[in-house]
Structures are given as C-alpha cells and as structure tokens.
Amino acid sequence: MAETWKPTDPGVLRLPSGRLVRGRGLRRPLPAGPVPTYAVHLLGKQPPEVPWDAQWLRWPDFRLPSSRTDAQRILREAWARADEERVEFACGGGRGRTGTALACLAVLDGVPAGEAVEFVRQHYDRHAVETPWQRRYVLRFAD
C-alpha cells in the first residue's frame, strides 16, 4: 500500500473527503520529494514515458477531453486510487486541463458542481479552469 501526498507538498489539493491529489504542469521540473504512484496526463498527444503507473487522457490544450466516456472512467479511477495512493494530474501548464480535472474530482468527492471551480481556485490555483467550456464541462460532469 502506497502513501498519499502530504498536504504541504507543492500543488496538492485536499478534497473534502480528505483525499489528497496533486496537480502540476509538465513544462515545469518535477517537484522535489515523493513521486506519484499514479498519474493522469491530460494532453493532446502521447505523453513521454514515466517510471510510475500513468494513464493518458487525450485532451487538447484549451479544449475538452476527446472522449467523455474515457474521461469519466479515468477520473473515477483516479479518485478511488487517491484514497491510498499519490495521484497526480498533469497537463502542459497545470491550470486549465488540470484544474478542470481537479474540479471534476471535487464533484466526485461531493462538492456541488456549481461550486467545484471556485473550490479548486481557492485551494489549488486561482487561475485554474481557463475557458467557459471547461467551466460548463465541470457543471455537467456528473450528468
């Protein structure tokens, strides 16, 4: 059984259930400290290999996931794994796609969909979820 993140680790978001997940931008260096045990890469093209378990969710920059079904499946799996593992979400800059995915996780964790973007902006990055369609995606995620 792996350990989860520390609440003080860079980029870590504490969900209402107590689960800890990390968001980051892949264009920045890997933060010091523990590495993920599972990562979801939110990119428009195949991500580079990493030495930990990782899943690719095809998600072009400033857009939405290419498959709503794949996104729901992958985000639900990541949410479940975050209970006992170090789960990371990463896109190029760590704000738009990552923030949107984190807001969807917040919805899965019980945050009302209409409050999830603000929750992530308060507790992760004030610029998270960059486009109107990303905000609408979060609102409709649980539908």
pLDDT category of residue 142 using cuts at 50, 70 and 90: confident
**Residue 3's pLDDT band (boundaries 50, 70, 90)?**
confident
The answer to whether residue 29 scores a pLDDT higher than 60 is yes
Residue 103: partners with Cβ closer than 8 Å, 6 or more residues away? 116, 117, 119, 120, 128, 129, 138, 141
Kindly state the percentage of the chain with pLDDT values over 70: 99
Q: What's the mean pLDDT in 28-33?
A: 92
Q: What is the pLDDT of residue 2?
A: 61
Residues in Cβ contact with 143 at an 8 Å cutoff, skipping those fewer than 6 apart: none
Model pTM score: 0.96
The yes/no answer on whether domain 12-28+35-140 falls in CATH 3.90.190.10 is yes
CA torsion angle for 119, 123, 126, 132 (degrees, to 10)? -30
Mean pLDDT across 84-105: 97
